[in-house]
Structure 1
Amino acid sequence: MQILCHSRPGRICRGGGLVPRAKRDVEEGVAAGRSTVVDPVLALTAPNGSLPALLKLWCNQPAADSGQAAGTMVEMVLHMLGLSPDEARDLARRHPPPPAAA
């Protein structure tokens, strides 16, 4: 966490890794009418800046409720990516499905 927290902005979402998939997901959301994003690449700058800021908060305030902060941040980022406030809240508060049995 300290490494990410002290990395230069943009390193996390640079051209490889999750960026192509995230861009595709945003484009699919727009095509399906779930998102109102005009520029998917520009829209991805929101989570690119939000994650390091959240990590910095946790480093500076270790007693903060990290679960609640992460959920609130997810909700805000989903809304910035064009989801309605209600849908962003619903998705951010959902519990992940249990892992599949191996």
Structure 2
Amino acid sequence: MDQERLKQFALELEDAARRYAAMDPEVRSFAGSVEGVSADAKAGRILTPLEHIPGDYYFSEGTLRKYRDLEHAYSKFQIEVTGGEPPALIAFRNRVNAQKN
């Protein structure tokens, strides 16, 4: 788990949520549900991968999918806080990028 990436993704998630929170109470609720994990990530207090973080319900069962940038920010944060990208995914992405060039 890369602490700098984790902090960066936490900030990106907070920024994305802030954009919609004033006009959507579901976004405010979502932001409240991930606030503790996000604060811990920014402070460098997450030293081992978490098994699960709150918030996925808002995208799978709620209406937050309409905010693509918020969903993308959450996904990046979730991947990093649960251990980062698996080596197989990194290798696959590298192969695909090499084929494009």
Q: Structure 1 length normalisation: TM-score?
A: 0.32
Structure (1/2) with the larger helix percentage: 2
- Comparing both chains, which one has the higher relative contact order based on Cα–Cα distances under 8 Å and sequence gaps of 6 or more? 2
Q: Structure 2 length normalisation: TM-score?
A: 0.32
